[in-house]
Amino acid sequence: MRIKDYHLGYYFFLITVLVLGIFAVWRLSPNKDLQMIAFILLSIVYAVIGVIHHFLDHDLVGKIVIEYILIAVLGIAAAFFIFKGGFGI
Amino acid sequence: MRHFLYCLVFPHPHNNHRAKFLHFKSLLLVISVLITSSFFFTSGVNPLASKIQALADISSQELLKYTNEKRVENGLPPLLLNQELENAAYAKAQDMFANDYWAHNSPDGTTPWYFIKNAGYDYVYAGENLAKGFTDSKDVVSAWMASPSHKENLLSENFKDVGFAVKAGKLGGEETFLVVQEFGNKTAVPVEKIANKSPPVAPETKVLAINLDSVTPSPAKSLSYDFIFLIILSFIIILFVDMLIINRKNIARFVGHNLDHIIFLVVVLIMVSILGTGYIL
């Protein structure tokens, strides 16, 4: 039960942070540079929160750290692609 | 081939119980493609694509049509396309590209009224709406209508004439296209409402209508957005399927929480949707 509560708390925290990030990006419109910076910061925070979560779960290994970093970078790359105008179409 | 595709999407002993699509190499490949194409396609290979599409989908005639549709819906007579205001709008768009700014007033303080006067339009009332990054005339007018101050210009009884400019170019190092809408009236007499024929009240002083604030984004989706949407959605679906299969088979793995990644990627989709919008000013 305590473990379940802990995970619920973690997901509540994660979703709150991400929703705040969406709000920040929306509010920073139309300054795309600041929007991009906010998005990069959010992706970093996501990776850090994920890694901390695994650390607290005592199952943190190097592979997991790389995985969170890659997923965060994938998000940044997707946003960057749109930010730069994608294929130009 | 079937086995390869299966291993690409589903966890299996042959892919170490993790869909190949989610392996580090695949992730790195997708990231590399996205970052490389961000620089390569937008700067060199296809720089004219956005211009061609923009010019194909946004035209003065269409902007006039949708603007007047909104005016008629609100009981106002349609605006007349004025060549002097068209010239003013074109000069304003050209000035923004030449001096690399996107604002009603240029960095040296030149106001929109300068362009209107310079084009030979002797106004009593004048107004300006700007938009950039849109690919469709209807979206531009919808975005203006969604913003109270721009809507005020569109539905103003003080304006009789209008001029548009749609121009593609480079702004802040990015290929984009601008839409400039200049409003004007050479007399102090407001137009009569179609529905309400009450006598117009002439204002006592000259009034300029301008939107200097209220920046509202509005969707201007493109093929690039669809591409990103498809990529991220694929990752979300594969992560979800992976999570279901592994949970059902109760296989222990040292990998990140798929649910974390799914939530994050959903947020990425929302963010990308916010970033991939056009703007009005």
pLDDT tens-place string over residues A58-86: 888 889 999 999 999 999 999 888 877 66
User: Would you say B162 and B224 are in contact if contact means Cβ atoms under 8 Å apart?
Assistant: no
Two structure tokens written together for B185: 């009236």
Query: Cβ A61–B254 below 8 Å, yes or no?
Result: yes
Mean per-residue pLDDT, A28-39:
78
Chain B residues touching A64 at Cβ < 8 A:
254-256
Chain B residues touching A88 at Cβ < 8 A:
41-42, 45-50, 175, 224
Q: What is the pLDDT of residue B173?
A: 67
B103: nearest Cα among B202, B161, B180, B24: B180
Question: CA nearest A59 in B: which residue?
Answer: B254
Two structure tokens written together for A77: 């790359």
How far CA B164 is from CA of B31, B85, B128, B187, in Å, comes to 40, 7, 10, 20
Q: List, in sequence order, every residue forming a beta bridge with B174; answer none if it has no partner.
A: B171
Mean pLDDT by 10 residues, chain B (281 residues): 77 80 89 85 48 59 90 90 91 90 87 90 90 80 86 90 87 76 87 59 42 39 78 92 86 78 92 71 70
Q: What is the pLDDT of residue B202?
A: 40
Q: What is the pLDDT of residue A66?
A: 93
User: Which of A45, A74, A76, A80 would best serve as a mutation to test chain B binding (most B beta carbons within 10 A)?
Assistant: A74
Distance CA B57, CA B55 (A): 6
User: Would you say B206 and B124 are in contact if contact means Cβ atoms under 8 Å apart?
Assistant: yes
| CB-closest option in B222, B255, B259 to A64 | B255
- Is the whole model's pTM more than 0.80, yes or no? no
Helix (H) or strand (E) holding A78: helix A62-83
| CB-closest option in B175, B228, B281 to A88 | B175
DSSP-derived 3-state class of residue B19: coil
What's the pLDDT tens digit per position in B63-104?
A: 899 999 999 988 889 999 999 999 999 999 989 988 888 888
Count CB neighbours of B32 within 10 A: 11
Q: What is the pLDDT of residue A25?
A: 85
Give the minimum alpha-carbon distance from B147 to chain A in angstroms, rounded to a whole number: 14
Q: What is the pLDDT of residue A86?
A: 64
User: Which of A28, A52, A87 would best serve as a mutation to test chain B binding (most B beta carbons within 10 A)?
Assistant: A87
